[in-house]
Amino acid sequence: MKTKLEYIWLDGYKPTQSLRSKTMVRENFQGTLEECPMWSFDGSSTEQADGGDSDCLLKPVAIIPDPDRKNSYLVMTEVLNADGTAHESNGRATIEEGEDDEDFWFGFEQEYFLIDTDTGLPAGFPAGGYPGPQGPYYCSVGANNAHGRNVIEEHLDLCLEAGLNVEGINAEVAAGQWEFQIFAKGAKRAGDEIWLGRYLLERTAEKYGYAIDWHPKPLGNTDWNGSGMHANFSNKAMRENGDEAVFTKICEEFGKNIERHISVYGADNDQRLTGHHETQSIDEFSYGVSDRGASIRIPVGTVEDGWKGRLEDRRPASNACPYKVAAAIVKTTNEAGV
């Protein structure tokens, strides 16, 4: 039997990378990562090489079943230079040895807008205008408020069938805005799962005439929420010590490393992090219990569980690379010395 392997990678476009993919057909494939060979592609067509020296390599790093195609798998890959070194666009390679410990748990909340390709507007937006103000769309039900549910439900089913650890979905604050949440142990695995989830979403939306807008503020300077990729995280000390000082020390360390984080938290994030619409200003740093207007929120559940649990960095934008976000979080948390 012949099997389709969809090799997925991130291109070299700046400031925000896009997903690319192509299909390899293999015979007698048993479904293991070890069976997936290295492959090459034309990097001059993806802003990753010059035409005179255009070969880039795809190194398989994760594999899941592809439930939307017959006899098929999705293969997440890293981009390497022709000599086997990590390409400069390879965000996964920014997670250094020793920083991919499963001691770190991540829960990413991936927000996005569904865009109607006929109108160029978010789902639920009338041509040439706006729907009613924000308020009724968050976690909504009914055709007047929930727009594009067919895409979202199919995407959820595909993710679960593929084995991605999606923990929930919901309609978000703005019309046509949705979210899915993924939990994973380890920085690389968390990044792999978000990118694979994004890929399945993009491809599912194709069938319904929708595009996905990952921009953190697609509606510009209006009274509509932007989109984030809130990063919930914990290590063993946070989950087990039961010490408020642990969380304070980590938050204070994040406050000392603002540029490290903001530099990888997504392009145009200044348009979203304004101090309004449940955000802190991009040039300020704060943390607080149950404070969605802070840079880092300490969930009330963490406090009620005796200071055992997680933190939520609310600054990452919806278009941020989860590999780079996770790498920065691990680095700063480790530097806190807890």
Instruction: Report the pLDDT value the prediction gives residue 90, as an integer from 0 to 100.
Output: 98
Q: Can you tell me the distance from the alpha carbon of 317 to that of 109, in angstroms, rounded to the nearest whole number?
A: 10
Q: Tell me the pLDDT tens digit for each residue of 211-240.
A: 999 999 999 888 899 999 999 999 999 999
Instruction: Please give the torsion angle defined by the CA atoms of residues 213, 219, 223 and 229, in that order, rounded to the nearest 10 degrees.
Output: 30
The strand pairing partners of 23, in sequence order, are 6
Helices 322-335 and 187-206 cross at an angle (nearest 10°) of: 160
Band the pLDDT of 293: cuts 50, 70, 90: very high
What percentage of the chain has pLDDT greater than the value 90?
A: 94
Instruction: Report the pLDDT value the prediction gives residue 254, as an integer from 0 to 100.
Output: 98
* 193 pLDDT above the threshold of 90: yes
Nearest to 15 by CA among 292, 264, 310: 264
Helices 149-162 and 187-206 cross at an angle (nearest 10°) of: 140
Band the pLDDT of 128: cuts 50, 70, 90: confident
Instruction: Report the pLDDT value the prediction gives residue 200, as an integer from 0 to 100.
Output: 98
Q: Tell me the pLDDT tens digit for each residue of 296-325.
A: 999 999 999 999 999 999 999 999 999 999
The strand pairing partners of 59, in sequence order, are 78
Q: What is the mean pLDDT of residues 54-73?
A: 97
Q: Which two tokens stand for residue 150?
A: 């067919």
Q: Which two tokens stand for residue 83?
A: 């000599």
Band the pLDDT of 93: cuts 50, 70, 90: very high
Q: What is residue 214's three-state secondary structure?
A: coil
Amino acid residing at 294: A
Q: pTM for this one? A: 0.97
Nearest to 325 by CA among 108, 163, 116, 121: 108
What is the longest distance spanned by two Cα atoms in the chain?
60
What percentage of the chain has pLDDT greater than the value 70?
A: 100
Instruction: Report the pLDDT value the prediction gives residue 69, as an integer from 0 to 100.
Output: 97
Domains of the chain, earliest start first: 2-90 (3.10.20.70), 105-335 (3.30.590.10)
Q: What is the enclosing helix (H) or strand (E) of 24? A: strand 19-27
Instruction: Report the pLDDT value the prediction gives residue 278, as an integer from 0 to 100.
Output: 87
Burial of 24 (0-12, 13-18, 19+ CB in 10 A): middle
Band the pLDDT of 39: cuts 50, 70, 90: very high
Could you tell me the CA-to-CA distances from 181 to 57, 107, 228, 315 in Å, in that order?
30, 7, 12, 16
Q: Label residue 10 left, alpha or beta by phi (over 0 means left) and psi (-120 to 50 means alpha).
A: beta
Band the pLDDT of 277: cuts 50, 70, 90: confident
Mean predicted lDDT score pLDDT of the chain: 96
Q: What are phi and psi of 217, to 5 degrees?
A: -150, 65
Neighbours of 66 (CB within 10 A): 23
Q: How does DSSP classify residue 174?
A: S
Q: Tell me the pLDDT tens digit for each residue of 241-265.
A: 999 999 999 999 999 999 999 999 9
Q: What is the enclosing helix (H) or strand (E) of 167? A: strand 166-171
